[in-house]
Each structure stands twice: as C-alpha cells, then as structure tokens.
Structure 1
Amino acid sequence: MKRGILAGKTVVELGSMIAAPFATHLLARLGAEVIKIEPPAGETTRKLVRGGPSGSYLAFNRGKRSLCLDLTAADGKAAFERLIAKADIVVHNLSPSAARKLGATFEACNALNPNIIFCHIRGYGAGPLEDQVASNPIAEAATGVMFYNRPEGRPARLGPSYHDQFAGCYAVIGVMGALLSDRSAEERNIEIGLYETGLHIAARDLLGVQLKTQLLGRAEQEPSAEFSIPGYGAYETSDGRWAYLVMLTDGHWQRFCAATGVEPRQELASLRARRRARDEVEAIVSKAVSGFDFDTLSTLLNVQGVGFTEVLPLDRVLEAPQAKAGEKVSAFNFSDYAFNTPDLPLAPLCASAQDELPPPLLGEHTSELLSSLGFGPAEVNEMLASGAVQTPDRAAPLWAKPKPQTAAS
C-alpha cells in the first residue's frame, strides 16, 4: 500500500508543460494517486526532445498513471465525468477557454462531486487579463524579473521555469489548506495565476525599490545583490573552474583576505568603502582567486569559514558528494534509458521514491482505469475503436536516436 501523508487521495491532473504537472508531482510524492488525463496526441512535453519526452516530462510525471481520453468525444467525456465523481482533487493548467470547452471548471466538477477540491493554475487571476494565456516568461516580463536580467544587453528569461514551479508549490499549499478546511465551495475552488505568483515572488524587490524611491527620491534598483556588493559573485580559478563567493559583511571580507593572503587595508574595511571602490575591490578578488587552482582555494576558504561553492555544469551536479549523501536521488529506467532524479526533500512525509513507477507511456493505464470506473470489456473495446480513448504502442520508439558516432578515418 502506498505510503505518504496523502495516501488514499486521488488526484486528477489535466496538465501540460510544467505548472500543473509539477504540482501533481509534489502531491504524488506526498502519497496521492495521480491520474494524468492526456489527449490522444499526449501532453506537450512528451514530444519536445528528438520527438520524445523532455526532461520536464521525466522529472515531473514519475509515479503517475496515464489515462488517454478525447474529452471532445461523448465516450471520453463520460469516462472523465465518472472519474471526477470518484476523485478527491482536480489540478489543471488549461487555458480558461479550453477549460470551459472541456467541462473542466469548478462549477462542472462540483456538480459531479460536491466535495471536490479544484485547483486551476492559469495565466492571470481576476482582472482585465483573466482570460488571456500567459506562460512563465510572460510572468517574468510582467513582474519585473526580466527587465534587469540582460546577459547580452537584451531582457531575457531566466533559465529554469521558476514561476511555473512556484505556482505548482502554491497550488499544493492551496490543496493542503483545502483538505484542512471546512470544505466550503469558496475554499475548495483554488485559482493560482502565474502573474500573481510572479508578483508575490517579486515582493522583496518591489518593496525595495519603493523604499529607495522614498529615501533617495528616485527609483533606484540594483540588478542583483552581486552587482551591488563587490566580492559577491563568480570568480575564475587558475584551472578554469569557477568559485561563487558570498561576501555580504565586513566579517566575510576579513575571512576572505585571511584565506587568500589579500592585504586587509583599512580603507577597504567597511562595506560602504568597498562599494565606493567597487572596481578596485573586484579586481583584487579576481586576482586573488585566479592565483589558486580550485581545490587549493577550496581548502583555504574552508579553513577560514568563507561561504562559497563551485559553479557546476548540470552533468556534474549529481556527482557531488553532498548530492550522493543520504537518500536524495532515486534511479529509474524508462524505455531503454536509465535516469537519476532528485527527490522531494521531505522524506518522512513522502511515499517511497524507489517504489514509484517510472513515468507512464501515453495511455498506459487507460484500460485498467476504465475498468475501475465500471466500463466493461466490450465498452472499452468500442471506445478504443472510436478513438475516444487510447492505449500505448509499446513497440514505438520514444526518441529518434542520434546516429552512432564513428571514428574519423
């Protein structure tokens, strides 16, 4: 029997890309059974890398069961309605228009199940844009994050889809709160906007610029902490590796100087003074770091208690001793491929990661789920023949594999 604090709860997901699948990934790790409803073409992340599943699909869909339904077909809609009637929670990130078209609204689901907890992750919450579609980079652009992120002079999105994942976390908070509530319709109808999520994430910076406007009479905003505090950032060592240093205080600066042999000059003793001499201090730190290979520098900084780490490429992250310690990473196989995935760091509350299934094939659990909903074998066969539901083609390759490399002649 599945463990975890949400064991026994059934979640229906109509998710695509990241926000809703990430939310239900968290719910699954907490022990809920997640049934992922997908259209006949599969959800978007199944076809993003060489015609096959992307890292997002592999990371956030492990342990779910896939029910492939055409919700525009009468039989597909009937199966969906039976499932909602028996479920505990619905999570989706369909556009508002698609949700209305497919009957995936709180009103429709609540009519089928008056105890359902319903969570819609959408582009915008209530307001003039509430019916518009928004994605992670749009939320970044609209809430101030992108304006100062200009790696080549042009505003650009951050790498990971943090707003999607934050929205997924907020969705889980909402679901958990609803489970503990009096279950009024208002408490069970949860809406999470990516835009509103972005506003909340940006609260520190939004208030910071208000503070500076009132103190200085102008809307001054530093691009980030590392640009405003010299010695805070990434610096290259003599062997081409990068050390990220955190020097927020005068004590941090003194420890760095002691570790690297930099003269602790009195005129640079205070943060205010170092900020005034930013270019000089940056040159001092860069020169000091570049005088050591990374391993030697690491030893010196550790002795003095300086905050730092190596800036790692993705292919080395899970090889770090800290990543390997304890039960932080689980291995699973998917098709002919082997993967290692980081786990939710809440082990006492979670289901066993090792016991979870790998990500499902498209429609892998369609037949058994339809049977559990009361559809007989003849009905299931008829639904399959009509295209209202789908089971997987297990012989089809998941990815278009690259050609093997041959040695140069």
Structure 2
Amino acid sequence: MNSGVLAGKTIVELGSMIAAPFATHILQQLGAEVIKIEPPGGETTRKLVRGGPSGSYLAFNRGKKSLCLDLQSEAGKEIFARLIARADIVVHNLSPSAARKLGATFADCDALNPDIIHCHIKGYGAGPLAEEVASNPIAEAATGVMFSNRQDGRPTRLGPSYHDQFAGCYAAIAVLTALLAGDRAKREITLGLYETGLHIAARDLLGVQLKTQILGRAETEPSAEFSIPGYGAYETRDGRWIYLVMLNDAHWSKFCTATGLPADPALAGLRDRRRARPQVEALVREAVAGFSYDALAERLGAQGVGFTEILSTDRVMEAPQAQAPGKASTFGFEALSFLGPDLPLPGLVRDEGLDGAPPLLGEDTEALLADLGYGPERIAALLQEGAALRADPGQELWARPRVKEATPG
C-alpha cells in the first residue's frame, strides 16, 4: 500500500482532453487508483501528434488504468454499472447531453452507488448557458483574458490550456472537500469552465470596476506588464532573454546599482518612470544589452533583483532546480523515455507508482473485467462483440517521418 493520502480510493474517469484528466491526474498522484474509461476510438489526446498520443496524454494520464468500453451497448452499460457500484468517485467532463446519453449523470451514478462522489466539469454552470458546450479558448474569450492577449492586434488564446487546468484543480479541491466533509449533500459537484474563468479573472474584473468608479471610465492595463517600465523581457548581448520584475522604487534602485546606471533623481519614483516610459525602456534595453546573460545574472543576483532566463520548453527540464529530487519522475512509454513533473506536494503524494506510464488504449480491460467478476468465457464474448476492447501492443502509435532516400549521382 502506498502512502498517498488517497490510497485505497477508486476513481472512475470519463475524461477527454484536459480538465477531467488533469483533475484525476492530481488525485492519482495523491494515491488514488484511477480507471480511465475510453470509447473504442480512445479519448481525443491519444491521436493529436502524428496520429498518436500528445504531450497532454503523456503528462496527465500517467499511472492510470484504461478500460475501453462501448457505453452505447447494453453490455458496455452493464460493465459501467458494476464499476460505479464499487467506485468511490466519478470525474467527467462530458457535455450535459452526452452525460445523459451514456448514463453518467449524478442521478444515474447515485442510483447505482448512494455513496458515490460525482464531479462534472462542464462548459457552464447553472444559468441560461447551462446546456451549452464550452472549451478553454471560449472561457478565455468570455472572461476577458483573450481581449488583452493579442498578436498583431488580433485577440488570441493563451498557449497552454490554463483554464482547463484550473478547472481540474478546482475539481480536485471539491472532491477532497467532499471526502473530508462526509456529507451526502456535498457528493454532487458541478463545475463550470466559464465560472472557473470568472474566478481566476477576479483581479482584473474588480480592477476595471474600481477604475471605472474612481476615474469615471473603464480603463484596463494596456499590457501584461502593468505599464511599469523595466518590467518585462529584454535581450542580453549574447542573444539570450531575461525577464525582469521591477514593481517598485527599491527594485529600480537595485537594478541601477547592478548594471551601473547612474542614479537619476528625475526617475527615482514610479510615477516619474511611468511618465518617462520610452526613456526608461530605452535605458533598460541598453543596460541589459551591455552584458552577457551570465554576467548580468551574477550582478542582479548579488543585488537581489528579481529575474530569470526565458527558457524554451526543450530546456526547462534541464535546469538545476527542475533536476532537484522530488520534482519529476522518469517513465517509459513505447520505447521512449520521458521526464514528467510531479505534483509539487512531496509530503502528500504517493511514494510508489510515480514512474507509471500512461496506459495503452484498453491495456487494463481484461484485468478490470475479471476484477468485476466476469469469467474468462464472458470476457472473451464481451471482447468479441465489441462491448469492451483490449490493447493492441503491436500497434504503431505515431506515424514516423519518412526518410528521403539519397538520389544517386
């Protein structure tokens, strides 16, 4: 038995893409057994990279078990019912209509298991859009994030699906709260992606309300750097990028000392620097460009200036801090090796199984069916009729790039 705080708990996941799989990834790292139910074609992230599993699948499905079922078949529904009757928690992000069609609503699961904790991550919570479908970029667009994030003047989504992952975090919090409360009324959890977006945008939403009432007009920050000169990305002499955090006058003073900029009383105050923004930005760019990254980092570190190098994703896991014990686990998947970041709560996570690979589609189908009480002949029949599917270990997961043959001559 592992030492994770959720050891002994069984979670059934009907998840696709990120929100629900991310929630159960957290709960799995805390010690729970996660049984991932997938349709015959597998969930979406299994086929996003050259026809095979994507980074999302590899990152958020480590150590889970895969049970591949046709939930539209009567036999598939029977298997699902047996599983729910024995589970502790259900987490899914099906659309409301799909949840009803597949028999995965709270009412359906509660009828099978009166003690089940049921968490539904959906597009919208209660309200006029409750039946509508929403995804991560829709949540960004509807809650103000996308309006401020632009490329060439065009509103665009953020790179990572942060709203999905925030919703997954909130779902994990809700499940843990329900377990802690032991209150039957807390077993039905509904979480909207849109409402998640509202909550994480609260600072900006209240900030614009504040300025509207003080200034008499709506005013948002013109940039993600809060219009503070010296707060942002700058290029060093050797072509590397550094991010500086200069929020106040003390930060500015330390930066000037570190880089040798003369103390200018006219720029000592933040309001002064904001009024002289173009001048200050030019000073910072020139100062940074006068040093190699390593030389500047040494000077800034000595003065206590907040900074870091802006790393490309292929370099992130090479950093000494990322390589320190307890940060990530190595796991193999289809003859490939990966280093996956772990939940950053080392005192709470499981002490075994962190190096578990994501499952192949239906990899655990036969074992789980046997555990549910099906005999060998019935399992064979279920596989034969397509109500359940098992993994094909010989299937090539990713299409390999074609190697051009050298042209003679």
Whether the TM-score (by the shorter chain) exceeds 0.5 is: yes
CA distance in 2, matches of 1:375, 1:354: 27
- CA–CA distance in structure 2, aligned partners of residues 325 and 62 of structure 1: 20
CA contact (8 A) 1:5 1:350 kept: yes
1:75 corresponds to:
75
Measured in 2, the distance between the counterparts of 1:251 and 1:60 equals: 41
Q: Write the mapping of 1:81-230 to structure 2, written as runs, cut at 5 A.
A: 81-184=81-184, 186-230=185-229
Partner residue in 2 for 1:326: 325
For the residue of structure 2 that corresponds to 1:219, the secondary structure is coil
Paired amino acid for 1:65: K
Secondary structure at the aligned position of 1:243 is classed as: strand
Match of 1:401? 400
1:341 aligns with 2:340: yes
**Amino acid in structure 2 at the alignment position of 1:207:** L
Alpha-carbon distance between aligned partners in 2 of 1:379 and 1:354, rounded to the nearest angstrom: 31
Rounded to whole Å, the distance in 2 between the matches of 1:346 and 1:368 is 31
Aligned ranges 1:366-381 → 2 under 5 Å? 366-381=365-380
In structure 2, how many angstroms separate the alpha carbons of the residues matched to 1:342 and 1:356? 11
CA–CA separation in structure 1 for the residues paired with 2:145 and 2:265:
37
| TM superposition shift of 1:224 | 3.9
Other structure's SS at 1:245 match? strand
After superposition, the C-alpha distances for 1:325-383 in whole angstroms (9 at most, x for unaligned) are 22211111100111111111111111136554200000000001011111111111111
CA 1:299–1:405 in 2, change beyond 3 Å: closer, same or farther? farther
What letter is aligned with 2:153? G
What letter matches 1:7 in structure 2? A
Give the Cα separation in 2 of the matches to 1:182 and 1:326: 35
**Would the alpha carbon gap of residues 136 and 215 (structure 1) be closer, same or farther in structure 2, given more than 3 Å must change?**
same
CA distance in 2, matches of 1:222, 1:326: 39
One-letter code aligned to 2:82: R
- Quickly say closer, same or farther: Cα 1:223–1:122, change in 2 above 3 A: farther
CA distance in 2, matches of 1:146, 1:169: 21
Which residue type is aligned with residue 116 of structure 1?
Answer: I
TM-score (norm 1): 0.98
Structure 2 stretches lacking a partner, 5+ long: none
**Displacement of 1:151:** 2.0
Decide whether the 8 Å contact of 1:45 with 1:57 is kept in 2. Answer: yes
Deviations 1:96-140 (A, max 9, x none): 000000000000100000000000000000011010100000000
Q: Deviations over 1:251-279 (max 9, x none)?
A: 00000000001111000000010011111
Displacement of 1:404 after TM fit? 4.2
Q: In structure 2, how many angstroms separate the alpha carbons of the residues matched to 1:376 and 1:393?
A: 21
Deviation at 1:223, TM superposition (A): 3.6
Q: Is 1:265 aligned to residue 264 of structure 2?
A: yes
Question: For the residues of structure 2 that align with 1:311 and 1:406, how far apart are their CA atoms?
Answer: 39
Unpaired segments ≥5 residues, structure 1: none
Q: Is the 8 A contact 1:149 1:223 kept in 2?
A: no
Determine if contact 2:90/2:118 at 8 Å carries over to the other structure.
Answer: yes
2-structure distance, mates of 1:238, 1:110: 63
Q: Which residues in structure 2 correspond to 1:223-242 (within 5 Å)?
A: 223-242=222-241
CA distance in 2, matches of 1:40, 1:171: 26
The answer for the alignment partner of 2:36 in structure 1 is: 36
Distance 2:403 2:208 in 1: 54
Q: Percent identity?
A: 68
- Following TM superposition, by how much is the alpha carbon of 1:320 offset from its aligned partner in structure 2, in angstroms? 0.7
Query: What are the within-5 Å matches in structure 2 for residues 236-385 of structure 1?
Result: 236-352=235-351, 355-385=354-384
The 3 A distance-change label for structure 1 pair 355 and 312 is closer
Q: Calculate the TM-score normalised by the size of structure 2.
A: 0.98
Which stretch shows the higher mean deviation, 221-230 or 120-129?
221-230
Aligned length: 408
Provide the C-alpha distance between the structure 1 equivalents of 2:7 and 2:353, rounded to a whole number of angstroms.
16
The alignment's C-alpha RMSD in Å is 1.3
In 2, distance between residues paired with 1:282 and 1:125?
44
Displacement of 1:95 after TM fit? 0.4
Q: In structure 1, what residue type is equivalent to 2:189?
A: I
